[in-house]
Amino acid sequence: MSETPFKLPEINEEVPMPRIKEICQHFNLHDLWEKIEKDPPALTFVTDGCTMWPNVTGGKSIYQACFLHDLKYWAGYPGEDVERLVADAELMIDVARLRNSTKMAETMFHGVRVGGMGQLKMAFSWGFGRVI
């Protein structure tokens, strides 16, 4: 019997806290869940998938990597430079694994390092779930 793949919420779907807990448990993001549970972000979590990037490239979906990256960015606090770097590096690694290639993953990493700074206060910036 084959295992049913884990289904993530769709793009632009509001994700309630119990579902976020389930996702964090499934992907072993226990520290992230503790952070969220202790101090939930003010805004409801919604992902746009791979911001300014296709969710499917070369016939392979990278949506899962982008979803988890968005979840980490949503829960972030201002000044968490190390946590943001780790989230960005994990995105790069996840995309490289999903695509079995590093070129696009490295390009995405450099893009999120520049475009995801919390100081930009964009809808996708670090800490976008918190009132800054």
Tell me which of 24-28, 91-95, 101-105, 118-122 is least confident.
Answer: 118-122
- What's the residue count for the chain? 132
Please write the tens of the pLDDT for every residue from 33-65.
Answer: 999 999 999 999 999 999 999 999 989 999 999
Residue 15: CB partners within 8 Å, gap ≥ 6?
9, 23, 44, 45, 46, 47
Per-residue pLDDT, 1? 44
Condensed to tens digits (0 to 9), the pLDDT of residues 9-35 reads: 999 999 999 999 999 999 999 999 999
Specify whether the CB–CB gap between 47 and 16 falls below 8 A. no
Instruction: List Cβ neighbours of 48 (8 Å cut-off, separation of 6 or more).
Output: 11, 12, 70, 123, 124
Strands (E), 7-116: 56-57, 60-61
**pTM of the full structure:** 0.93
The answer to whether 123 and 102 are in contact (CB under 8 A) is: no
**Does the structure show a pLDDT above 50 at 2?**
no
Cα atoms found within 13 Å of the Cα of residue 126, Cβ hemisphere only: 21
First to last CA, the chain: 48
